[in-house]
Amino acid sequence: MTDGARMATRSGVRPREAATHCPYCALQCGMVLHATTDGVEVAARDFPTNRGGLCQKGWTAAELLDHPDRLTTPLLRDRPGGELRPAGWDEALDRVATALRTLADRHGPDAVAVFGGGGLTNEKAYALGRFARVSLRTRHIDYNGRWCMSSAAAAGNRAFGVDRGLPFPLADLGRADTLLLVGANPAETMPPLMRHLTDQRERGGRLIVVDPRATATARQADLHLQPLPGTDLAVANALLHIALREGYLDRAYVAARTTGFDEVRRTVAGYWPAEVERLSGVPVADLEATARALATVDRAIILTARGAEQHAKGVDTVSAFINLALALGLPGRPGAGYGCLTGQGNGQGGREHGQKADQLPGYRRIDDPAAREHVARVWGVDPAALPGAGVPAYRLLDSLGTPSGPKALLVFGSNPVVSAPRAARIESRLRDLDLLVVADFLRSETAELADVVLPVTQWAEEDGTMTNLEGRVLRRRALREPPAGVRTDLEILAGLAARLPDAAPLPTDPREVFEELRRASAGGPADYAGITWERIDADTGVFWPCPDEHGPDRPRLFADRFHTPDGRARFHPVTHRPAAEPVCADYPLHFTTGRVLAQYQSGTQTRRVAALRRAAPGGFVELHPDLAARLGVAEGTPVRVVSRRGELCAPARLSPTIRPDTVFAPFHWPGAARANSVTNDAVDPVSGMPEFKICAVRVERA
Ligand code: SF4
């Protein structure tokens, strides 16, 4: 299809304004885009999550639409080490399809892999999964959500039988008598969410934060527990130990709605608060105050986020907090419960519709014969032709270009050169590929390595749906046509599918894709069958599961039963174990990573926005003044953080609020300041999530 013909298929005249949502994080703040003579203006829109607020990232998001770095033509590299050069779409897609066909013929379909992202719309995530399984017939697909939400997802699935990050609307936070945030820093990652926390405080609620750093959120808390990184699980078990000792167990709830408590009781009996204080550094009095604050109120909510989850024991750590919540009878009680704060823009929807290695749309398992049968029928293929489960993201990336691994990788909406753990190794794997294809609208660090770069639309140029951190399905609405030469991800997948042998045509209209997604998800745990674009438009989104177009959606889950076969939640006994890489004489400090207010993820976008660059111009290493004094380091002194895998170099930033045995660096920057040059690639055995949050390092003057 020519560019002209393709443009003619897009809807005709665009509106001068569009009510949509922010392109960045999972809060999906409501915004209105206005087309002006100078470009696009962003205004905040009142929506239940952001209540009229936006953070700096949202306000400035439109700056990238006409940014000089914007890609508007495909780029090809003709030989290894050569420069990328502009090319036409037919040449680029022909090059990719020919190479994919050749590699699959020579090595089998698993020689080709696909890597997606948690920022892709539901329609793109779904289409990517279908493209991999039907057009490429490869089992190798996974995505960068494996870095973010997979441990909480696995823990939620095994306890509740379903993974919806928040099983209640965000507004419930404002009514909680006690709110426990574990490893979450919304004051910097999702500032408008703090409006709900302000409500909570003004109603007399207590906020308790568990975080090794005195973050902007922790500084607002009534009580801040500051454990050694990697000891959250022990803290949770100690809280449950205290709750049982003090008689706070909700016996009726545990008897009627759960199974497996006795083994958990035996396990936590050994978590004496004094011993956990020695292990974690959290005083017994604070542990006791926290247990009391959770157990002696009507409405208590426990939320975990990346701080608790990005560990080689992240699933068990989340399970420990779920055990605590279940023992106190919180999940399913109005205004109370457990939830996880999802991070990426479509982190929730992106993990429901087939981008994950072991998953089919609707959060179905790919090894479930009934699920394969259902989805294969929607796709018009033989269930036996669908590949089996692939491997989680890090294993996939680490196998690229090796004798038994994929020889080609297609990347959509991700930048693993900056975001993957042990990033230098992954960068080297990418260089070993026969073919690397990156679809992006900017030249990310991963795109810089690619053989083919395909320029795609941005959020203000596309229609579709996103599912926010509450499980609320939202509409993304286009304001304007994309620049000439740019295509949507759906058009790219369709263009490739059309060039592959025996591949069924793929739809390019997002609404058509969504209609297919509804059918494919029907009957699955994440059931979208009853959700239509009209229904979303008529209200403030629709919560899944929603199996019936004329029936209600489900803002709150678990009121009567959990999504397990017998309707009961499952306790899981879990025990503390040390970090995968303990400190030692050569590497005596703990290293942890995170985000800053003015940057987002790998920074490909936000590092190019002038106001955000001014606010957060580069990486830094945060360390305690006592540690700095021992090292002879002053504010701004360049320091080197060295682990067994690599090093980062950035200016020191002194802070008395970080533990003296711990150093921190944000992960938004590439090059010398790349935090993931240092991080550990140990992964959780259940979720495959890497241990971004702790490894052993030494710090030197650079
Ligand atoms: S909080 Fe998240 S969704 Fe809201 S404006 Fe900021 S980045 Fe966008």
- pLDDT (tens digit, 9 = 90+) per residue, 248-270? 999 999 999 999 999 999 999 99
Atom 2 of ligand 1: nearest residue by CA position:
25
27 CB near ligand 1 (under 6 Å): yes
pLDDT at 64: 96
Q: Which residues contact 671 (CB under 8 A, 6 or more apart)?
A: none
pLDDT band at 148 (very low <50, low <70, confident <90, very high): confident
Determine contact, residues 652/633, Cβ cutoff 8 Å.
Answer: yes
The number of angstroms, rounded, from the C-alpha of 164 to the middle of its chain's C-alpha atoms is 13
pLDDT at 262: 98
pLDDT at 4: 33
Distance of CA 56 from the midpoint of ligand 1 (Å):
8
Mean pLDDT, to the nearest integer, of 647-651?
98
Distance of CA 208 from the midpoint of ligand 1 (Å):
23
**For ligand 1, mutation pick of 21, 25, 170, 346 (most atoms within 8 Å of CB):** 25
pLDDT band at 503 (very low <50, low <70, confident <90, very high): confident
* Through-space distance between the first and last CA atoms of the chain, rounded to whole angstroms: 54
Q: Half-sphere exposure of 527 toward its Cβ, with a 13 Å CA cutoff? A: 17
336 CB near ligand 1 (under 6 Å): no
120 CB near ligand 1 (under 6 Å): no
**For ligand 1, mutation pick of 31, 55, 469 (most atoms within 8 Å of CB):** 55
Distance of CA 665 from the midpoint of ligand 1 (Å):
22
Distance of CA 28 from the midpoint of ligand 1 (Å):
6
In terms of C-beta density within 10 A (0-12 exposed, 13-18 middle, 19 or more buried), how is residue 664 classed? buried
For ligand 1, what atom is nearest to the CA of residue 61?
Answer: 8
Determine contact, residues 130/379, Cβ cutoff 8 Å.
Answer: yes
Q: Is the pLDDT of residue 423 over 80?
A: yes
Strands 359-360 and 364-365: antiparallel
Distance of CA 25 from the midpoint of ligand 1 (Å):
5
pLDDT band at 6 (very low <50, low <70, confident <90, very high): very low
pLDDT tens for each residue of 526-543: 999 999 999 999 999 999
180 CB near ligand 1 (under 6 Å): no
pLDDT at 343: 87
Q: Is the pLDDT of residue 695 over 60?
A: yes
Dist. CA 350–CA 684, nearest whole Å: 20
**For ligand 1, mutation pick of 20, 21, 22 (most atoms within 8 Å of CB):** 22
* Percent of the chain predicted with pLDDT > 90: 93
pLDDT tens for each residue of 553-574: 999 999 999 999 999 999 999 9
Distance of CA 81 from the midpoint of ligand 1 (Å):
38
Dist. CA 510–CA 124, nearest whole Å: 8
pLDDT at 13: 63
**For ligand 1, mutation pick of 27, 49, 595 (most atoms within 8 Å of CB):** 27
Q: Is the pLDDT of residue 142 over 70?
A: yes
Q: Smallest Cα–Cα separation from 116: which of 346, 322, 325?
A: 346
Which sign, positive or negative, has the C-alpha torsion 655, 661, 666, 671? positive
51 CB near ligand 1 (under 6 Å): no
Dist. CA 390–CA 403, nearest whole Å: 17
pLDDT band at 173 (very low <50, low <70, confident <90, very high): very high
Distance of CA 526 from the midpoint of ligand 1 (Å):
24
58 CB near ligand 1 (under 6 Å): yes
pLDDT at 458: 97
The model carries a pTM of: 0.95
User: What φ, ψ does residue 652 adopt, rounded to 5°?
Assistant: -75, 140
Q: Which residues contact 260 (CB under 8 A, 6 or more apart)?
A: 570, 571, 572, 573
Mean pLDDT, to the nearest integer, of 389-408?
97
Q: Is the pLDDT of residue 1 over 90?
A: no
pLDDT at 7: 36
Determine contact, residues 120/459, Cβ cutoff 8 Å.
Answer: no
Task: Identify any residues that bridge with 699 across adjacent strands, giving them in sequence order.
Answer: 641
Distance of CA 61 from the midpoint of ligand 1 (Å):
10
Q: Which residues contact 490 (CB under 8 A, 6 or more apart)?
A: 123, 124, 127, 506, 507, 508, 509, 510, 513
Distance of CA 53 from the midpoint of ligand 1 (Å):
9
54 CB near ligand 1 (under 6 Å): yes
Dist. CA 469–CA 473, nearest whole Å: 10
Q: Is the pLDDT of residue 502 over 90?
A: no
Q: Which helix (H) or strand (E) holds 417?
A: helix 416-419
Atom 6 of ligand 1: nearest residue by CA position:
55
pLDDT at 11: 47
Cα→Cα distances 58→28, 33, 383, 614, 657, Å: 9, 11, 43, 16, 28
